[in-house]
Amino acid sequence: MTSTNLTNHFLLALPCLEGSCFEGSLTYICEHSVTTGAVGIVINKPLQAPLVSLLENVDVDAKNSDISSLPVYFGGPVQADQGFVLHRPLGSWNSTSAVTADIGLTTSKDILTALGTNGIADQSLLRDFIVSVGYAGWSPGQLEEEIVQNSWLSVKADPKIIFDTSYEKRFKAAMDSVGISMLDLASGVYGHA
């Protein structure tokens, strides 16, 4: 298989992942390389706990009423006790990996502190964000092998799907972006070439 960089792509879970934690998931790939593997954040599986609870658990005072009803997402099964914030713009947080020129993945507490206060009132500081616990990770070659085995379908990511589409519509929106239907996936229309 030819090496392709899937950074800034979506992975749509295909029917063979039914029954796994990735069933029905849409994962945004934040980093992918031949030598280090891949890191992604599942963006369509909210947990029962609201963001306010997560902030309180890490001793961040949640004064910002705008975030009271926002969910925390299951980002994946790796480091399920670690918080990850997928956001735009990049900003200047203590620990951010740039995914694109505008989208970053931050793991430092300073971004959570800004979310908890009204520090994000300045839209240039943090316009859009998704907070998750855990991430999806693949060792070198593992993701490529899973794609060959028809576990995932990759499509170019659209920031509008990540940040402007409700979580329950993100999977379908990603499929629609390339003209695929759930019936096509279930019938096995998409698979090996």
pLDDT of amino acid 64: 75
Average pLDDT (9-32) is 96
Residue 1, in any domain of the structure: no
pLDDT of amino acid 189: 53
Longest CA–CA span in the chain (Å) reads: 53
pLDDT of amino acid 26: 98
**φ, ψ of residue 118 in degrees (nearest 5):** -90, 20
CA distance 168 to 130: 14
Average pLDDT (46-54) is 90
pLDDT of amino acid 192: 44
Residue 45, in any domain of the structure: yes
Q: Domains in the chain: how many in total?
A: 1
Residue 150, in any domain of the structure: yes
Residue 193, in any domain of the structure: no
What is the CATH number for 27? 3.40.1740.10
Residue 68, in any domain of the structure: yes
Domain that holds residue 15: 9-187
The β-bridge partners of 28 are 10, 41
- Tell me the per-residue pLDDT of 74-130, one tens digit each, with 9 for 90 and over: 999 999 999 999 999 998 899 999 999 999 999 999 999 888 886 555 545 677 999
pLDDT of amino acid 1: 46
Residue 138, in any domain of the structure: yes
Residue 146, in any domain of the structure: yes
Q: Check residue 17 and report its DSSP letter.
A: G
CA distance 147 to 27: 13
Specify whether the CB–CB gap between 115 and 126 falls below 8 A. Answer: yes
Give the pTM. 0.89
With 0-12 / 13-18 / 19 or more C-beta atoms within 10 angstroms meaning exposed / middle / buried, residue 29 is: buried
Residue 192, in any domain of the structure: no
